[in-house]
Amino acid sequence: MAARGRCPECGSGSLVEDAHYAQQQLVCSACGCVLSEGLLTTTYSDEEHLREVAYSQSTGQKEQLSRCLQRGSRRVQDLCKVLQLPAAFEETAVSYLRRALQHPAFRLLSREKKELLGGCCVLVTCRQRSWPLTMGTVCSLLYARHDLFAGVYLSLQKELGLSVPALSLADLVTTHLNSFRLLQPAADVPAAFLEDKEQLLARTVAIVELASQAWLVTGRHPVPIVTAAAFLAWQSLRPGPRLCCPLARFCRLAGVDLPPPAHLRLKELLEILQGMASQLSWLRGFPLDRKVVVKHLGELLQHRLFLLKNAFSQHGEEQQDTAPGQGCPSQGSGPPSSPAGAQQQRRPWAGPARPGGPRRPLLPPCLLQPRKRPRSAPSAAAATGDEPISDSELEQYLRSPEEIRALSRARACL
């Protein structure tokens, strides 16, 4: 802190208060001349120049942690303990929480949402360190509403400018299968249902990879896909006794929740596998139903790249399907020249592919079964915004006096 006054020797104004062996001295920083030293007491005139520093402006205020930060840190620590995360995660999560609470957008959040902030920080930390943690898990641990959590998470990502990598499905499979009870002997689990973890894991990962190549994963919630894939893998490892076990029973035995979309994912997976099975030459004689597919799942997965390529036409090959000698004429896709200006008609592709028939394109299911009809673009109505507005057009929007009277009478009765 530079004091007032000038050095008597060199005349410079840069005086510094320095300490020489803990004795305060007023020194000129240009020539080193000591102006005064050992100021233990101040005179009344000196005190006039001293300003009182309020506690709120001193650093003591900032060093004290606010109550919500303390509460939030405790919650983060508890979460990390329950999830058995490494110690480094906890520090990172708490630092994110501190940064977030300094942000004006989060300081004024409702109490309900502040409680979710700790969970969001933990989720971000886990994602950045490739630790597969789903939002569903965090929500259930915090007893949080899913939409509230989603809102807080997205605003946290935006305000702090964090780049959060996407959830890795391979890791998610590993942690999800860890919670399955079918992997250890238990009282209510028949011996035929027990499964070795490594084998189940490897096969489930393979099925999930196949699903992602077949466009079943993009845009969808990951957990139902993993559940359906685990079910198929488990069935195929010992089809005999397990084929009759439905998905719901499997989930109950495994001790996991059955997410509602899992049935649909299972159906889609089976459809893809049936298509692939149609290309295996030694399965030509068999009817392509679920049982055959599950029994031969291992072989289908082993040759999945080749089978996928053969069973389904890649995008862009649709137009070449009408080559002569391929498929029944009644099933042929539309002529290559689509009508001018209109979108390509996407016929819903129902049923499994037949060998020799036209191949279904490998597209996301939302493109194969479009729920909405493409709407034609509306014709340009107003050329400028300044057309004259006719009174008669506006009359239709005004109530007549009789209507107003009737309405007021009706309102008075209510």
What is the token pair recorded at 71? 């509460």
Size of the site for another protein (CB under 8 A): 70
Q: Applying CB under 8 A, does 206 fall inside the site for another protein?
A: yes
Q: Applying CB under 8 A, does 302 fall inside the site for another protein?
A: yes
Q: Applying CB under 8 A, does 167 fall inside the site for another protein?
A: yes
What is the token pair recorded at 170? 């391979």
Q: Applying CB under 8 A, does 397 fall inside the site for another protein?
A: yes
Q: Applying CB under 8 A, does 34 fall inside the site for another protein?
A: no
Out of 41, 56, 163, 392, the only residue in the binding site for another protein (CB under 8 A) is: 163
Q: By C-beta, is 7 or 217 nearer to another protein?
A: 217
Q: Applying CB under 8 A, does 315 fall inside the site for another protein?
A: yes
Read off the DSSP letter of residue 273.
Answer: H
Contact call for residues 216 and 189 (beta carbons, < 8 A): no
Strand partners, 28: 15
Q: Applying CB under 8 A, does 381 fall inside the site for another protein?
A: yes
Out of 33, 148, 164, 237, the only residue in the binding site for another protein (CB under 8 A) is: 164
Q: Applying CB under 8 A, does 221 fall inside the site for another protein?
A: yes
Q: Applying CB under 8 A, does 153 fall inside the site for another protein?
A: yes
Contact call for residues 123 and 137 (beta carbons, < 8 A): no
Sorted by sequence, the CB contacts under 8 Å of residue 219 that are 6+ apart come out as 364, 366
Q: How far apart are CA 225 and CA 231, in angstroms?
A: 10
Q: How far apart are CA 203 and CA 229, in angstroms?
A: 9
Q: How far apart are CA 173 and CA 206, in angstroms?
A: 11
Contact call for residues 36 and 25 (beta carbons, < 8 A): yes
CB of 302 to another protein, least distance (A): 7
- CA geometry: angle at 13 spanning 11 and 19, to 5°? 105
Q: How far is CA 76 from CA 149, 288, 363, in A?
A: 15, 51, 42
Q: Applying CB under 8 A, does 319 fall inside the site for another protein?
A: yes
Span interacting with another protein, options 29-37, 234-242, 303-311, 325-333, rule CB under 8 A: 303-311
CB of 159 to another protein, least distance (A): 13
135-144: long-range pairs with CB below 8 Å, 24+: 136/223, 137/83, 138/79, 141/79, 141/82, 141/83, 142/79, 142/115, 142/116, 144/115, 144/116, 144/119
What are phi and psi for residue 15, nearest 5 degrees? -100, 140
Q: Applying CB under 8 A, does 16 fall inside the site for another protein?
A: no
Q: Applying CB under 8 A, does 202 fall inside the site for another protein?
A: yes
Q: By C-beta, is 69 or 164 nearer to another protein?
A: 164
Span interacting with another protein, options 11-19, 177-185, 336-344, 351-359, rule CB under 8 A: 336-344
Q: Applying CB under 8 A, does 63 fall inside the site for another protein?
A: no
CB of 383 to another protein, least distance (A): 7
CB of 366 to another protein, least distance (A): 5
CB of 130 to another protein, least distance (A): 13
Q: Applying CB under 8 A, does 412 fall inside the site for another protein?
A: no
Q: Applying CB under 8 A, does 6 fall inside the site for another protein?
A: no
Q: By C-beta, is 191 or 380 nearer to another protein?
A: 380
CB of 90 to another protein, least distance (A): 23
Q: How far apart are CA 15 and CA 30, in angstroms?
A: 8
> What is the DSSP secondary-structure string of 274-290?
HHHHTT-GGGTTS---H
Residue ranges that bind another protein, judged by CB under 8 A:
134-136, 150, 153-154, 157, 163-170, 202, 205-206, 208-209, 212, 215, 217-222, 302-306, 314-317, 319, 336-338, 340-341, 343-344, 363-364, 366-367, 377-378, 380-387, 389, 393-394, 396-399, 403-404, 407-408
